[in-house]
Structure 1
Amino acid sequence: MWMLVALLAAGTVPAATAAAPQVETRDIANFWIAYDAIRAETDPVRRKALINTLYIGKGTPGLHALMRARGYTDDQYVAAIDAWPRYWASVRPLTGRAFAATAPLEADLATLSRLYPALRPAGITYAIGVLRTGGTTLDDKVLIGAELALGDDSVDVSELPEPLQTRLRTFYASQPFHNNGQNNIHEYIHTQQAEAGDTLAQYALREGVAELVAELVTGKKPDLPLYVYGPAHEAELKARFQADRRGNDYHDWLYNSSNNRFGVSDLGYYVGYRIASAYYAAQPDKATAIATLLELRYDDVQAVDAVIERSGYLR
């Protein structure tokens, strides 16, 4: 894990927490320094230089990993700063809540370690992105998009283009800041898992396992429409998922807007969660069940199919 030497030296974090799970947040402050400088500058060449020297160039390994994972570029940052001033003004004060958002992390990771003793350490970075992820991973790094994960329904999305505006209005209405403990553990779980293969079933089960284990640790599910729509349309979702599961078109199921045949985004998370939950409930040895789910070869279609079959959920 990354040590917060600079923060400890500055007195930001009590020394007693040095051995606890660490969270890197300095990219947030650097972004706002760059933001103010860019807003005061009119020359395009100089503005691009500012985002590079004041933010990207000073970035932590976590910021650079976030940029690689989501394909963020210096031009995208400058364009977003230009296009959405009301958005940035409204989200700015909320990004200072990173440490408050991670207050439960030490206890949650201790719980996770008890559930899964083979847990490997991972670093956690909160940085500002360009609105394409509230949380992702790269290798042993948990990467949180602070502009999304720390938001709430006070964020002004009126300048954003569609369908992003509608999707983020729904997302912020779910009060992601208050779901942040679950989000941290969900992403932490991904650092323990193999990458998925190509099919919908592989991706959905991988996400669903992260949802299930995060719920076991935190006692919470995200307050998102998929957890309202899913139980009310279970039979339809099962039939549709069964028809689509071996394909690699995720448009209706994963990483999507609500502009799909269901009118609700990310229902693949729900189906994956229900499969994982059914599998876990059916196993008498819960520790072995968790280990099986976390260590599953998600790049192996037959291994994923075997867990789905053993869950009994789609029968």
Structure 2
Amino acid sequence: MNKTLFFLIIALIIVGCSFEKSKSANVITSDITNFWKAYDKIQKTSDSIQQMKHLKELFFDKGTIGLKAMMKAKNVTPQEYLKAINRYPKFWKSVRKNTLRTNEFSIKLEEGIEKLRKIYPSLKPAKLYFTISGLMSNGTTLDSLVLIGSELAMADKNTVSSEFLGRMKKNRRIFFDSNPIDNLVLLNVHEYVHTQQNMPVNNLLSKVIREGVAEFVSVKAMGIPSVTPALAYGKLNEKVRQKFEEVMFYGNNTHRWLWSDAPNDFDVRDLGYHIGYELSERYYQQAKNKSDAIKKLIELDYTNEVEIENFVNSTGYFSETLESLYEKFQNKRPYVVAVKQFKNKSEDVRASLNKLTIEFSEPMHQKYMNFDYGPLGEEAVVKFKKMIGYSKDGRSLTFEIEPLQLNKRYQLTVGWGFRNLKGVPLKRYLIDFKTTK
């Protein structure tokens, strides 16, 4: 074999290896190409049935596990994808070029994951999927999958936001102007951290801690600051912490602090990230062993109330202990004073009773209410017939009920979906009685 041919073969092997390295087995991007093939077909017809056919055959049917996981995680339907495509043509045109750069980031993403492994050696493997979210998410996770909504995560200051409306238009503009594509690796590391964490329980505090931990750990791993607007705003506004202390136990306001364009007192979305980041940062700064601190943060058990309470209190971030803040919350909650027609837990309520009036400790917000079964379940629940409504002062609610059976135990839980005029949730109350003649 002559030397020229030998070196040519070696060169081809090196190029081939480099190409394979750039197409990481842990980073999957095929959804992006499939989406744009479907998009181009959709633009050639105004027939919605044909449009959905193209979207199904070229995108959904060929979709990766990541696409299916994104749809499940964000509860997004094919119809919502098509609506987003047709409603925002300027947006899609402006972001297309960036989304086709996914292969450029594969090696950088692998490098970011290795940096994470250096500060958290127990890192478990996970796959990263660049997909399209239908404008529902720039990034999320499901089980061990990292899911990137590329149309948002890879936007930049040139991405068009003029077609969006209201608060979404404002928030999209702020987000696009932060050049999210420049922080794509940091976002992916953040989401990768989520695949290592335990799931939160269904309360606001555990959710903001989990998000804050992921952001803080990804920042420490990458050695670059977060560009999340909520973090910068929260640092400069002490009232964010004060407001969170006031409402963290409400149980019905996650959308005002995380993952939503819903209005809040500060007109800045996702301020829960700031709360969780501050708790994480303070815990880390106080720790003597930084490696152990990272491990502790990632492996927090959100089902363990004592562990979470000790973690939060140890940071000294809130003005009082969680126990004290919770006691204050309980003391300001409205409650049910009585049921007008009988004394609760009575054993001799007339079976001819056809309506109930619930009396509250203070005026209630008439937009919000909820009822639920009692411990005896559906079989024993009081059934509604007709809502009569609130009294003029908002302190009582009356409704007609379906006929009651003789000698039967009935229950109805008045839930904490009820709120007073300040939005404070009601203390749960069980209506419990037995009928007689």
2:315 to 292, 297, 311: 311
Q: CA deviation at 1:35?
A: 0.5
Q: What residue identity is the alignment partner of 1:38? A: I
Further displaced range: 277-286 or 242-251: 242-251
The two structures, once aligned, show a CA RMSD in angstroms of 1.9
Pair 103,222 (structure 1): closer, same or farther in 2 beyond 3 Å: farther
- Deviation digits for residues 74-115 of structure 1, max 9, x if unmatched? 111221221111111111111112233444222222221121
- The AA in structure 1 aligned to 2:242 is A
Residues 51-200 of structure 1: matches in 2 within 5 Å? Answer: 51-200=55-204
The whole-number CA distance in structure 2 between the counterparts of 1:247 and 1:291 is: 30
Aligned to 1:247: 250
User: Against the structure 1 CA distance between its residues 256 and 74, is the aligned structure 2 distance closer, same or farther, given a 3 Å change threshold?
Assistant: closer
Unaligned runs of 5+ in 1: 1-10
2:20 is equivalent to residue 15 of structure 1: yes
Q: Which of 212, 227, 234 is the aligned partner of 1:230?
A: 234
Aligned to 2:270: 266
Task: Tell me, in whole angstroms, the C-alpha distance in 1 between the residues paired with 2:225 and 2:261.
Answer: 20
Q: Deviation at 1:251?
A: 3.5
Identity %: 36
TM-superposed CA distance for 1:202, in Å, is 0.5
1:258 CA drift (Å): 7.0
Partners of 2:101 and 2:18 lie apart in 1 by 14
Higher strand share: 2
Asked if structure 2 preserves the Cα contact closer than 8 Å seen for 1:129 and 1:145, the reply is: yes
Larger RCO: 1 or 2 (CA < 8 Å, sep 6+): 1
Do the aligned partners of residues 258 and 218 (structure 1) sit closer, same or farther apart at CA in structure 2, a change above 3 Å counting?
farther
Q: How far, CA to CA, are the matches of 2:47 and 2:57 in structure 1?
A: 15
C-alpha distance in 2 between matches for 1:265 and 1:101:
28
Contact 2:22 2:107 in 1 (8 A): no
Alpha carbons of structure 1 residues 35 and 227: separation in structure 2 relative to 1, 3 Å: same
Deviation (angstroms), 1:17: 5.0
Give the TM-score, by structure 1 length.
0.91
Provide TM-score, normalisation by structure 2: 0.66
| Contact 1:95 1:150 (C-alpha < 8 Å) held by counterparts | yes
Q: Which has the higher helix share?
A: 1
Letter aligned with residue 79 of structure 1:
K
Gaps of 5+ in 2: 1-15, 320-437
